[in-house]
Amino acid sequence: KTGFLARKIHADMDGKKTPRGKRGWKTFYAVLKGTVLYLQKDEYKPEKALSEEDLKNAVSVHHALASKATDYEKKPNVLKLKTADWRVLLFQAQTQEEMQTWINKINCV
């Protein structure tokens, strides 16, 4: 599964609220491969290796839980991802259908 997703980091490892200055929305080209959600600056090009930045932004979705972010009302089509290490990330998909597909794919990993 691939597609554009805007990400907001809500909580860091151990569930601590992400500090101000690091809570902004940022759009990535997301690629779910195995148990890793890669968040790349640009659309995937097979001939190009992942940058250090791309690797830093990658999220393990192993034992993670995705659900519709029902408590977040500022934007539509937002899903919440709780990772095994207690990070909380919000992702805005481009449509409701895309959001649901991401939730299903992430939870089936």
Residue numbers at the binding site for ligand I3P (CB under 6 A):
20-25, 74
Q: Classify residue 109 by its DSSP letter.
A: -
Q: At closest approach, how far in Å is the CB of 22 from ligand I3P? A: 5
C-beta of 81: minimal distance to ligand I3P in Å? 15
Minimum Å distance from CB 67 to ligand I3P? 17
Q: To the nearest whole angstrom, how small is the minimum distance from the Cβ of residue 75 to ligand I3P?
A: 7
Return the number of the residue (16 or 74) whose C-beta is nearest ligand I3P: 74
Backbone angles phi, psi at 97, to 5 degrees: -65, -45
Residue number with CB closer to ligand I3P (20 or 45) = 20
Determine the straight-line distance between the first and last CA of the chain, rounded to whole angstroms: 12
Determine the Cα–Cα distance for residues 93 and 10; give it in Å rounded to an integer: 16
The answer to whether 109 touches 35, Cβ cutoff 8 Å, is yes
Which residue in the shown chain puts its C-beta closest to ligand I3P? 24
Cα 90 to Cα 84: distance, rounded to the nearest angstrom: 15
Residue closer to ligand I3P by CB (options 24, 76) is: 24
